[in-house]
Structure 1
Amino acid sequence: MEHGTAVSVVTAGGEKFAVRKARREDVPALVALLADDPLGSGRETAPPEAYLSAFEAVDASDEQLLVCLTTASGEVVGTLQLTFIRGLSRGGALRGQIEAVRVHREYRSNGLGRLFVGWAVEECRRRGCVLVQLTSDRSRGDAHRFYERLGFVDSHGGFKLPLDP
């Protein structure tokens, strides 16, 4: 996928949106989307340089794809990150991991999120994934119902162990 080029155009609510690979100049808008809820506002507090450094690492990796959802005028109104994971299980299958899905609050409830996640699932399929998985904080009940409507199944529990820097 070329840097910054539209990989797909979707229409929701009568408006056209592009899905494209994120660019360095998108980082402030992406962080603002990640911080735009009670959970994100408490954890997206690092200095801008930390996000730019992380962007550079993600952007350089063939196993990562960070994308933007933009309006026809180029405004960033959504983001998600795909990670492609090769493992021994399932016969050495490739899995797609969807994370950090956000759609700007003004653009929700018109089918755009469904189309955006659908795009991500199709990208995983196109790359040869046999399974798509995602994570969502337990406190995000609305998001869980949304993912279930899209066909995702709450099949596994997860655990995290914070590590001190």
Structure 2
Amino acid sequence: MNIRKARKEDVPLLVEMIANDPLGRLRENYIVPLPDEYYHAFQNISSDPNQELVVVENENGIVIGTLQLSFIQYLTYRGGIRAQIEAVRVYETYRGQGIGQMLFEWAIQRAKDKGAHVVQLTTDKKRPDAQKFYERLGFMASHEGMKLHLK
């Protein structure tokens, strides 16, 4: 397995993975050709030094998973850095093979390498299996999150 920075040509498959669950189907617009808004977002992510969108490839070079890691500078914690994990997906036929765990291990090590003091994530309450997976990796539900959707 190989983890590498995502490339523009990966975007359609990444959006397909993100859209391939009950919640993703409600939020995403996975059609061919892919709407330009996804490529615009990819460009913004790629040009931001505090964002890392990565993919995992199998031994044949096929992309089978992804995650986005964001580094957030704070004044709290003595000017600490938080690492935020988002949009974790493993292609459906490859789930249950330890790929998600490998992605998380990579992200946690990357956060340590960047000097982050904490790795955090949010997960939808409608995803109990994801919550159990994160707990097995050592994450704790330590805060109550809140969101205000603007669109």
| TM superposition score category, shorter chain reference | over 0.9
Match of 2:138 in 1: 151
Q: Distance in 2 between matches of 1:72 and 1:23?
A: 18
Match of 1:93 in 2: 80
* Aligned-residue CA RMSD (Å): 1.1
Q: Distance in 2 between matches of 1:34 and 1:61?
A: 21
Q: Deviations over 1:43-76 (max 9, x none)?
A: 0117520000000000000010000111122211
Q: Deviations over 1:27-53 (max 9, x none)?
A: 000000100100001101175200000
Secondary structure, aligned partner of 1:157: coil
Poorly superposed stretches of 4+, deviation over 3 Å = none
- 1:27 maps to 2:27: no
For 1:139, the aligned partner's letter is: K
Match of 2:60 among 66, 73, 76: 73
Secondary structure, aligned partner of 2:115: coil
For 1:33, the aligned partner's letter is: M
Residues 51-66 of structure 1 correspond to what in structure 2 (within 5 A)? 51-66=38-53
Residues 113-128 of structure 1 correspond to what in structure 2 (within 5 A)? 113-128=100-115
The gaps in structure 1 that reach 5 residues or longer are: 1-16
Residue correspondences, number: 148
Match of 1:112 in 2: 99
Structure 1 residue 124 displacement after superposition: 0.5
Secondary structure, aligned partner of 2:40: helix
Secondary structure, aligned partner of 2:112: helix
TM (norm. structure 1) is 0.87
The gaps in structure 2 that reach 5 residues or longer are: none
TM (norm. structure 2) is 0.94
Identity %: 48
For 2:136, the aligned partner's letter is: R
Q: Distance in 2 between matches of 1:67 and 1:93?
A: 23
Q: Is the 8 A contact 2:65 2:99 kept in 1?
A: no
For 1:160, the aligned partner's letter is: K
Q: Deviations over 1:110-151 (max 9, x none)?
A: 222111111110000011101100111111100000000000
Larger deviation, residues 108-117 vs 91-100: 108-117
Match of 1:40 in 2: 24
Structure 1 residue 109 displacement after superposition: 1.3
For 1:142, the aligned partner's letter is: D
Q: Distance in 2 between matches of 1:33 and 1:100?
A: 9
